[in-house]
């Protein structure tokens, strides 16, 4: 529930509390159940020094890219921003992907999320054309990175 609140807050803040975004994902309130017991995926929650949930990041295998996975739901609470934690989380999840045998990381984002786009590009994600199949139809920026 804490992660869901962070995700929804961030999407609403950037005018993305609309259909076709993670805001309306049916499993957002219970990410544990969504990721648990599935092959080649995981979701990790970031806790601050007081034990409060301040963010999260996950990945799941994607069938449209051979040996690929989608970097999913990387969001931070405002209290955790400005500390380079996005970079740390992405590098952490890329390592989990490598451990799972993933060779390519894919992600979807939106032009309203300029800070996220800057982070992805700084970490060498390459923008690609919109794939034929996308999980969140409102997204308008798509990236891959060879791991």
Q: What is the pLDDT of residues 2-42, one digit of tens each?
A: 999 999 999 999 999 988 888 888 888 888 888 887 777 99
pLDDT at 131: 85
**pLDDT tens track for 82-141:** 899 999 999 999 999 999 999 999 999 999 999 999 999 999 999 999 988 877 778 899
Residue with tokens 């739901």: 73
- 5, exposed or middle or buried, with CB in 10 Å at 0-12, 13-18, 19+? middle
pLDDT at 20: 85
What are the tokens at 146? 């060879």
pLDDT at 32: 85
pLDDT at 139: 87
pLDDT at 55: 95
pLDDT at 6: 94
pLDDT at 96: 95
Does 67 have pLDDT greater than 90? yes
Number of other residues whose CB lies within 10 A of the CB of residue 69: 27
What are the tokens at 4? 């869901």
């Amino acid at each position: 529930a804490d992660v869901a609140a962070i995700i929804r807050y961030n999407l609403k803040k950037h005018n993305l509390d609309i259909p076709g975004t993670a805001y309306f994902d049916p499993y957002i309130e219970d990410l544990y159940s969504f990721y648990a017991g599935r092959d080649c995926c995981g979701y990790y929650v970031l806790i601050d020094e007081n034990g409060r949930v301040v963010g999260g990041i996950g990945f799941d295998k994607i069938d449209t890219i051979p040996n690929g996975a989608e970097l999913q739901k990387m969001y931070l609470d405002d209290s955790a921003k400005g500390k380079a934690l996005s970079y740390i989380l992405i590098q952490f999840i890329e390592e989990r992907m490598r451990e799972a045998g993933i060779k390519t990381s894919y992600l979807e984002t939106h032009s309203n999320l300029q800070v996220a786009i800057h982070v992805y590009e700084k970490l060498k994600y390459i923008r690609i054309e919109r794939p034929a199949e996308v999980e969140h139809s409102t997204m308008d920026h798509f990236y891959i990175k060879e791991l």
